[in-house]
């Protein structure tokens, strides 16, 4: 006779209870919601990414929301690829107001929360009218001063050859466009600058042509070196530090100070370039703007946090003094030594701040501007060449006008809490 292999009834009941309990525990574990995650796409890599991630860690510790940060130097291309794949980040950090304006009008961006809107000053975050309603669609989380010249303290800022390099990966040419923009702002004033940046003043106008010609005279024999050099110097240590470079002053934004030490001094462009000497109190600025591409609770919480004093103070403490970020409003002392305090006081005490004009332009016009800078450097004294380049830029601007490409409505403004209208 074959003996049954079934366990006794009591044992079977015990096994069933254990199995049920195990399933219940497994089911509870599987149905428990994972912590929310916010995806962020931004421009910072290397040590700059590390300092930003310090701020993100503080946010996670405070709110229990994880942040997946992706830093890339090919920001525009990466964002477009993600959007085409139907998986944009929750938040992207861009410096192009022109691109952001197009995204907003195409209903890709989410209007900012009211609390963030109040912390988003012009000229970095102009108000847009879309669908008959006014809203703000991005906010500056870090800013820089562009009307800056760096030099050695023992040498007057108005003496010495210019250091210049226009190489910069996929966006080669922008150091030259910065020069032209700043010259136009200082020579012709904020009103003319704004008309040009928003497409209302022709590239072939006397004011714009004169800015190009002035730049050509200033850089003189350094034009060829500009085409051969990267904006950071080919060794990544800064153009002023190049051995045998033969140059003593550099026009570059406040971010470049991370390449230097306290042996390099700062001066506003108007103090360093004799023919631009004026008392307009107007300065060119740039910024890294955060915009929401998905309306989630985590995205709203993070963008609110990033524009607050706590995050800004953490970010300022997380990096060496030479790379300390600037913000639309002061977060306290930047130290008495070196350039930080002077740059901060310029940003907060200016009469007018004007957004980087090429950042304001549609992407196609901006790209044509950069290419024109490179062609101009081949023969900066060639009047016929300049005429042809300006005509091409006018044609590109007209093409975007015909396409109905939306433009940023305003470019210049008084700084938050100061300045003059």
* 32-50 pLDDT per residue, tens: 566 789 999 999 998 889 9
Residue 11 has pLDDT above 50, yes or no: no
- φ, ψ at 180 (rounded to 5°): -60, -40
Length of the chain, in residues: 421
Mean pLDDT of 78-85: 96
pLDDT of residue 338: 57
3-state secondary structure at position 247 = coil
Q: Which is more confidently placed, 386 or 260? A: 386
Mean pLDDT of 322-331: 82
Mean pLDDT of 229-253: 87
pLDDT of residue 343: 85
- Rg value, the chain, Cα: 26
Mean pLDDT of 76-97: 96
pLDDT of residue 31: 45
Quick: pLDDT tens for 152-167.
888 889 988 999 999 9
Mean of the per-residue pLDDT values for the chain? 88
Rounded CA gap, 207 and 210, in Å? 5
Q: What domains appear along the chain, each with residue ranges and CATH number?
A: 37-144+285-344 (3.40.190.10), 145-284+354-413 (3.40.190.10)
pLDDT of residue 275: 87
Quick: pLDDT tens for 277-321.
788 899 999 999 999 999 999 999 999 999 999 999 899 888 887
Mean pLDDT of 177-198: 97
pLDDT of residue 27: 41
Residue 99 has pLDDT above 70, yes or no: yes
Question: Is 267 in contact with 151 (CB distance < 8 Å)?
Answer: yes
pLDDT of residue 339: 66
Give ∠ CA 186-102-309 in degrees, rounded to 5.
70
DSSP lists the bridge partners of residue 139 as 290
pLDDT of residue 316: 86
């Amino acid at each position: 006779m074959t003996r049954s292999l079934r366990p006794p009834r009591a044992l079977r009941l015990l096994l069933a209870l254990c199995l049920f309990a195990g399933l219940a525990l497994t089911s509870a574990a599987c149905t428990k919601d994972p912590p929310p995650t916010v995806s962020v796409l931004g421009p910072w890599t290397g040590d700059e990414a590390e300092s930003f991630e310090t701020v993100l860690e503080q946010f996670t510790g405070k709110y229990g929301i994880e942040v997946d940060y992706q830093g890339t130097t090919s920001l525009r291309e990466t964002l477009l690829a993600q959007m085409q794949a139907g998986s944009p980040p929750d938040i992207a950090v861009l410096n192009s107001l022109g691109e952001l304006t197009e995204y907003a009008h195409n209903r890709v961006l989410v209007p900012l929360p009211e609390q963030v809107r109040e912390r988003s000053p012009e000229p970095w975050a102009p108000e847009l009218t879309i669908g008959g309603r006014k809203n703000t669609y991005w906010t500056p989380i870090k800013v820089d001063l562009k009307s800056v010249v760096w030099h050695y303290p023992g040498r007057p800022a108005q003496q010495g050859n210019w250091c210049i390099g226009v190489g910069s990966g996929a966006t080669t040419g922008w150091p030259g466009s910065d020069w032209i923009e700043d010259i136009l702002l200082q020579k012709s004033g904020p009103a003319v600058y704004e008309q040009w940046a928003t497409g209302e003043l022709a590239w072939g106008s006397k004011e714009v042509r004169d800015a190009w010609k002035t730049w050509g005279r200033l850089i003189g024999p350094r034009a060829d070196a500009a085409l051969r050099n990267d904006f950071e110097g080919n060794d990544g240590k800064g153009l002023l530090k190049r051995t045998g470079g033969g140059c003593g002053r550099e026009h570059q934004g406040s971010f470049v100070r991370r390449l230097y030490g306290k042996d390099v001094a700062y001066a506003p462009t108007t103090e360093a370039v004799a023919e631009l000497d004026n008392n307009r109190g107007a300065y060119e600025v740039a910024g890294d703007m955060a915009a929401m591409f998905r309306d989630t609770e985590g995205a709203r919480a993070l963008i609110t946090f990033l524009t607050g004093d706590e995050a800004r103070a953490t970010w300022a403490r997380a990096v060496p003094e030479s790379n300390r970020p600037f913000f639309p409003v002061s977060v306290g002392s930047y130290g008495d030594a070196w350039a930080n305090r002077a740059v901060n006081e310029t940003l907060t005490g200016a009469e007018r701040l004007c957004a980087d004009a090429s950042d304001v332009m549609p992407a196609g016009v901006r790209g044509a501007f950069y290419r024109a800078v490179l062609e101009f450097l081949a023969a900066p004294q060639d009047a016929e060449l300049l005429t042809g380049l300006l005509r091409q830029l006018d044609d590109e601007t007209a093409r975007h006008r015909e396409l109905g490409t939306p433009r940023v409505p305003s470019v210049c403004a008084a700084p938050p809490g100061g300045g003059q209208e």
